[in-house]
A and B are shown apart, each in its own frame.
Chain A
């Protein structure tokens, strides 16, 4: 649609549909978000800060940030790797590989947690073996990292695959024929071409790692001050009837969510993420 011609007057249907959409969005999305910050700041900024700086909550913030620092780079590397593989080469089993990459996206977070429990737990496949050699993974921080890797494995790949498929390998072939080696080609040709989609995938991956609840609640054991991430801390405070505390903790994650959608809107003007599914 071009904006060159003056817009015709709005029809009744148009006004009705726009109005309905705005009203529904206001009640379903805007009001809940407003509630988070209102409840968090209700008792004043001092009480808010005291709630955030409570030792257990602060530790949960630390653990959540740590999980993101560990998990996001690994899944960026995996995403680039698998996207290169499936968009630049044809090989038997390619479709299966794509399907397995996307699998965690359709699996319930609770089921993801249960899967890890039956792999590394004492009831599980490798658990007894690990226990015999003195290694305990379940209900540790490592288990939180592992299950977060599972849950967010497709995030970067899903943004890169459609883009790299569409770009094709011509630029890279040109670089090689001009004498670049493989790493030079990757750094100077591939990476600049995919950087915004890569960044967008990383932003989505980060939001999910920080917010993951179901899978982490199965494998972490939710030990206060030890293996409690922010989403678990929110739930714990809520069950303790500490509403102000839980909303203070929730507001930090809601703030990150708002940053995520702002980043998305900014990146979309660069043509990123428009073809990607969620």
Chain B
């Protein structure tokens, strides 16, 4: 933005109107409901809150949720970089179809994804009839949770890494090549450091999405307490049992994870902007 545009900031109309509407809307639709939930949790008192969030069943749910999300994120990090690399660097028939398909997991409702996956891996399903005789059961095990998390968060890493990869100037790589670097060295020393902030940002988003995922997971996980009960499912179960305190406390834990995610991605964004400024 030019300096003149910044100086004339109140030349354009609509500041009061858009500020008023935005603040009113955000207050009613976003802030008030979150505040209501935090108030409910605060009314529990420290001891009750601690008892709920540190109960054995909650701890088991955190452990299943976080470990599954971690495995899913590692897979999607690798798969995402592979997809971004192939989409940016290579030309091949069907590339545009692949480009479009990558977004499908975001466009497809999570309940549809869940229904489809549980059917695929069921005894008579297309994958299940091959895997189950081999002794690999996916439905109602942690593997199912991981697969549902992978499916629902595939696009995050691709879509954050891809634009950065597109922006890399070929002359940097050429310079490295003329200086005698191998292709692997070029990737590890020249390309990787540039895409790293975007890669981490994509992974954080993917991890956060997996932690909170419900629709995709609920079909395939079953609800075996301590085995396949993820946090979002445990919240739902608490609501079903009219245990509102339990639901509020656990939802607050997930909310804090969301805040943390937002903080980390914002920090990474400013890191990335600095990086891009330096490379110009």
Contacts and interface: CB of A to CB of B under 8 A. Distances in A.
A17 B15 contact: no
A17 B82 contact: yes
A265 B96 contact: yes
A53 interface: no
B67 interface: no
B36 A238 contact: no
Interface in A34-90: 35-36, 39, 78, 81-82, 84-85, 88-90
A93 to B, nearest CB: 9
Interface string B214-252: 110011000000000000100110010000100110010
Interface in B122-180: 125-127, 150-151, 154-156, 159-160, 163, 170
Contacts, number: 291
Interface in B70-126: 79, 82-83, 85-86, 90-92, 94, 96, 98-113, 115-117, 119-120, 125-126
Most buried by B among A115, A150, A234, A264: A115
A250 interface: yes
B158 to A, nearest CB: 10
Interface in B250-280: 251, 254-255, 258-259, 261-262, 266
Contact of B109 (A14, A85, A99, A210): A210
A278 B106 contact: yes
Contacts of B248: 114, 118
Nearest to B238: A114
Nearest to B242: A123
A35 B116 contact: yes
B164 to A, nearest CB: 11
B254 A111 contact: yes
Contacts of B82: 17, 20-21, 24
A108 B100 contact: no
Interface of B: 1-2, 5-6, 8-15, 17-19, 21-23, 25-26, 29-37, 39-40, 79, 82-83, 85-86, 90-92, 94, 96, 98-113, 115-117, 119-120, 125-127, 150-151, 154-156, 159-160, 163, 170, 183, 205, 208, 211-215, 218-219, 232, 235-236, 239, 244, 247-248, 251, 254-255, 258-259, 261-262, 266
